[in-house]
Structure 1
Amino acid sequence: MLRKAKRVVVKVGSQLLAGEDGLNREFIDSLTRQIASLRGKGVEVVLVSSGAVLAGIKALKLRRKPFSLSEKQALSAVGQPYLMAEYRESFKRFNLKVGQVLLTAEDLRSKERFHNAKNTFNALFKLGVIPVVNENDTLSTEEIRIGDNDNLSAHVSVLVDADLLVILTTSPGVFDKNPENNPDAKLIPVIEDVREILESCDFSTQTRFGTGGMATKIEAAAKAAKKGIPVIIAGGREERVLERILNGERLGTLVMPCKKLKAKGYRILYLMKPKGKLFIDQGAEEALVKGEKSLLSRGVKRCEGEFKKGDAVEVFSLNGKLVGKGIVRCSKEELSTSKLCIHRDDFVLLREDI
């Protein structure tokens, strides 16, 4: 499965990129050397890289993380050119060029912008350019933020139809306990049920510069896996880690792919922020569960929030059980006069196997 991968997304976090006096040039050189080696074997690579805020912190000689979103945006504006300059110079040794791609959640929620982004990546691949992706922190607001690059890497994997997502971290993989405090902690080589792992293991430890911890990485991996993309969470400081993974060597933790969601279902489930809640009767719930019928407005007994046509909403049974998520065909005000509320093609059922 891994040896056959021809398009790979690689995510690196701030902890790996942090050096004593700024960005870790030794790590960046090692990373670009490995990506160049993969490119030489015909593998297309997308690099999702954190580090802009870190570079800004180091450039301005701060000794702390930013306190507010606006401060983070300012530091990102300072640091992003430094980060890209480091990658540009490092890839230049292998006659490879890089292209900067900055995304927000809104770029991925919209069907039109999603496909525009996909076309941009395909054009970069044809030109032989390495896309370096980061969240557009400088302009993003709370409403359109993705929030962390682990989840961004999962979304990008879906966007580019990747064969594999590799999340590189400071840990050799996923452990059943925090290995820093538990000498008996064991590496989990394969994860088939993400929900079971999240419930049974403690991943609460945060990193110094990063925005998430191991739980965020596992949750992001689950999203890619539900689109049918295998994910490896592995130690970024392992020698030749990318080359060894794609040669089939067992490194880190493999999150197995599972049932494939369609692209629209993925956007509805993971990218579209719900603007309201619909509470439906038992007959409507049974029809949606069977997947044979759309949700008619007469099946909606009450609603919460403010939504308009094209917005995402969550759908609940009358006893409060979450049934699924979908895109409404009418606004809240039109609900009483419209026949169709959610077409079955615009609804994602939240079952145990999804």
Structure 2
Amino acid sequence: MLQKAKRIVIKVGSQLLSGENGLNSDFIENLAKQIANVSNAGKEVVLVSSGAVLAGIKAIKLNRKPFSLQEKQALSAIGQPYLMAEYRKAFKKHGREIAQVLLTAEDLRSKERFINAKNTLDALMKFKTIPIVNENDTVSVEEIKIGDNDNLSAHVAVLFEADILIMLTVTNGLYDKDPNKHKDAKLIPVVEDPKELESFCDFKGKTTFGTGGMWTKVEAAVKASQKGIPVIIAGGREENVIERILKGERIGTLFLPAKKLKAKSYRILYLMKPKGKVFIDDGAVKAITESGKSLLSKGVKKVEGDFRKGDAVEIFDLNGKLIGKGIVRCNPDQLCSFKKAFIHRDEMVIL
């Protein structure tokens, strides 16, 4: 499965990119070398890279993380040219040009913009370049933020129709306990069912410069694997880690691909921010969960939130249990008179 991978997304975080006096040039050089070797072997690679805010912090010698979204946006604007300059210098040594791609959540939620972004990546592959993707922090506000580059990498893997997502981190994979706190922590080599992790994963702590922690990597791995993309979380400081993974060597933690979600279902489930809540009766719950029917307006007993036609909402039973998520086909004030499906089965994902 790994050796046959043609399209690869690689994600690196701020901790790997951090050096004593700024960006870690040696790590970036080594990363560029590995990616160039993989590209020269006929693979197509997209790199999702953190580091812009870190580079901005180092550039102005700030000794703390940003306090606000505005500070983060400013530091990202300062640091992005430094980050891309380091990457360009490193890839130039290996005969590869780079391309900068900045995305917001809105670029991924909109079907038209999603397709445009996909076409851009496809064109960049034809030019034999290495696209380097980051969230467009400078313009992102809470409404259109993806939030962290772990989840961004999963979305990019779906966008790129990748055969594998490799997430490089400062640990050697996913452990049954936090290895920084427990000496007896054991590496989990393979994850078949992510639900098995819920009882013992305690990786919600954040690193000095990063915004994620191990749990966001697990979240991202689950998202990509549900779209049929295998994911490996591995140590970025391992020698030739990318090339070894693609040769089939067992390194880190492999999330096996699950049943493949349709593109529309993935977008509804993971990219569209819910604007409201819909509470439905038992008959409607049975109809949509057991019979695969659409949700009719007569089954809706209560709505919450400020949503309109075309918005995503969460669907709950009357006990408050989350049932699914879908796109509404009318405004709340039209419910009583609406004769068609309030949420069509093709625009609804049952959890």
TM normalised by structure 1 equals 0.97
Structure 2 residue 347 is the aligned partner of structure 1 residue 346: yes
SS of the counterpart of 1:215?
helix
Gapped regions of structure 1 (runs ≥ 5)? none
Q: Deviations over 1:113-150 (max 9, x none)?
A: 11111111111111111110000000000111011000
Equivalent residue, structure 2, for 1:247: 247
Q: Deviations over 1:75-126 (max 9, x none)?
A: 0000001101111111111221111110111111111111111111111111
> Partners of 1:282 and 1:205 in 2: how far apart?
39
- TM alignment of 1:79-94, pairs within 5 A: 79-94=79-94
Whichever residue aligns with residue 28 of structure 2, its letter is I
> Partners of 1:243 and 1:191 in 2: how far apart?
22
Equivalent residue, structure 2, for 1:130: 130
Q: Which moved more, 1:4-13 or 1:284-293?
A: 284-293
How many percent identity over aligned positions? 69
Q: Deviations over 1:301-354 (max 9, x none)?
A: 11111111110001111222211100011111222221220111000000xxxx
Equivalent residue, structure 1, for 2:275: 275
Q: Which moved more, 1:336-345 or 1:229-238?
A: 336-345
SS of the counterpart of 2:199?
helix
Equivalent residue, structure 2, for 1:323: 323
Structure 2 residue 48 is the aligned partner of structure 1 residue 48: yes
SS of the counterpart of 2:337?
coil
> Partners of 1:57 and 1:25 in 2: how far apart?
16
SS of the counterpart of 1:53?
helix
* RMSD, matched Cα: 0.9
SS of the counterpart of 1:335?
helix
SS of the counterpart of 1:277?
strand
Q: Would you say the 8 A contact 2:227–2:258 is kept in 1?
A: yes
How far the C-alpha of 1:291 sits from its partner, in A, is 4.7
- TM alignment of 1:1-354, pairs within 5 A: 1-339=1-339, 340-350=341-351
Q: Would you say the 8 A contact 1:291–1:344 is kept in 2?
A: no
Q: Would you say the 8 A contact 2:18–2:24 is kept in 1?
A: yes
Find runs of 4+ consecutive structure 1 residues off by over 6 angstroms.
none
Tell me how many residue pairs correspond in the alignment.
350
Whichever residue aligns with residue 238 of structure 1, its letter is E
> Partners of 2:314 and 2:96 in 1: how far apart?
45
> Partners of 1:270 and 1:296 in 2: how far apart?
24
Q: Would you say the 8 A contact 1:316–1:324 is kept in 2?
A: yes
How far the C-alpha of 1:201 sits from its partner, in A, is 2.5
In structure 2, relative to structure 1, the CA distance for the partners of 1:291 and 1:347 (3 Å cut) is farther
SS of the counterpart of 2:171?
coil
SS of the counterpart of 1:301?
strand
Whichever residue aligns with residue 243 of structure 2, its letter is E
SS of the counterpart of 1:33?
helix
SS of the counterpart of 2:123?
helix
> Partners of 2:302 and 2:71 in 1: how far apart?
41
SS of the counterpart of 2:198?
helix
> Partners of 2:121 and 2:10 in 1: how far apart?
15
Q: Would you say the 8 A contact 1:154–1:223 is kept in 2?
A: yes
TM normalised by structure 2 equals 0.98
How far the C-alpha of 1:297 sits from its partner, in A, is 0.9
> Partners of 1:266 and 1:15 in 2: how far apart?
29
> Partners of 1:180 and 1:319 in 2: how far apart?
40
Q: Would you say the 8 A contact 2:233–2:253 is kept in 1?
A: yes
> Partners of 2:82 and 2:135 in 1: how far apart?
15
> Partners of 1:92 and 1:291 in 2: how far apart?
57
SS of the counterpart of 1:313?
strand
Q: Would you say the 8 A contact 1:134–1:149 is kept in 2?
A: yes
How far the C-alpha of 1:181 sits from its partner, in A, is 2.4
Whichever residue aligns with residue 348 of structure 2, its letter is F
Q: Would you say the 8 A contact 1:308–1:332 is kept in 2?
A: yes
Q: Deviations over 1:212-268 (max 9, x none)?
A: 101111111000011010000000000000000000000001011111110110010
Whichever residue aligns with residue 130 of structure 2, its letter is I
> Partners of 2:64 and 2:198 in 1: how far apart?
30
